[in-house]
Amino acid sequence: MTQTITLRRPDDFHLHLRDGAMLQAVLPETTRDFDRALIMPNLVPPVVTAAQAAAYHARIISALPAGSTFKPLMTLYLTEDTDPADLARAHAEGIAIAVKLYPAGATTNSHSGVHNFDKVRGALEKMAEIGMPLCTHGEVTDSDIDIFDREAVFIDRVLEPIRRATPGLRVVMEHVTTRNAVSYVRSADADLAATITTHHLIINRNHILAGGIKPHYYCLPVAKRETHRLALVEAATSGDARFFLGTDSAPHTDENKLLPCGCAGCFTATNTMSCLAEVFEREGALDKLEGFVALHGAAHYGLPTNSGTLTLVKSDTPVTFPDHIETGVGPVTVFNPGFPLHWRVQD
């Protein structure tokens, strides 16, 4: 028997598009299902200034499929040299809606990130003053901290001191991976929210390591124990408006994923909505899916909800997706959830 659900067109509040040939190839995978996405600024060189964000925005618009009304929402990359006046101009003129904090060395192309948080105090204070959100890659990078503990330590050592020192700063903890982060968000006021990725709702660290290394499941923050995954699922499907979708869909060519020191990231843009419908159905929470993908994030960022709708259809026959997409720089493997997908987006 066919089953359908219709929701507002969704938003992706954490997306990597890269640039050049990769941008051209992966952009249609998002625009097919999403009306808006928050675009990450960790290019080489990074998108630091209002002028750079405007130029990147123009490149994305020029790469859109014909007839697309997709809206890229731009971010600025926070560095120790960020000019508070420039980020205020970007915000006032609608060039960028948020600023991204990467601790230096935390993930792909994060070498320009922050070492000394005292040096970004002026920028953070300006953001609190004008209501510009800070998006955080929430991990410390200290070599003596175990990779599975880096999110929890970031909350204690970095995020909580920043929030105490900067009243009114709106913060989004991006791609949370632990029950520690879920509890921290729930203990805080309305100025704090969190995105949860598609893949962190589905995989735990065994999927990466048990029975042989699976490089296409390797991401940062790395997936944690099953108890943490279950905490993420509970948060995402609870209807709590502080949690919303940010896929962190991150395209890397297969060549770069399979290197001796392979790149971190899962490419989920192609099948995210099908994956999420499966996760929410298993929890008996399909009625909460619209909030997670289309309502909560828009409210936190002060944006109107999208006017269009998207319909998901379930059938007995599993949906098939390509196992990779071709780009001008090499194939990119599409995330495999490891179970059949019976939901698809209606054409």
Which residues carry out catalysis? 248
DSSP for 89-147 reads HHHHTTS-SEEEE-BTTSSTT-TTSBS-GGGGHHHHHHHHHHT--EEEE-----TTS-G
Q: Evaluate whether 2 touches 313 at the Cβ level (below 8 Å).
A: yes
CB-hemisphere CA count at 13 Å for 265? 25
d(CA 171, CA 283): 28
Q: Tell me the β-bridge partners of 276.
A: none
- C-alpha angle 330-331-335 in degrees, rounded to nearest 5: 145
d(CA 313, CA 336): 20
**Per the structure block, which two tokens stand in for 272?**
């995210």
Neighbours of 131 (CB within 10 A): 12
Backbone angles phi, psi at 238, to 5 degrees: -80, -20
**Per the structure block, which two tokens stand in for 152?**
């929890």
Report helix, strand or coil for 169.
coil
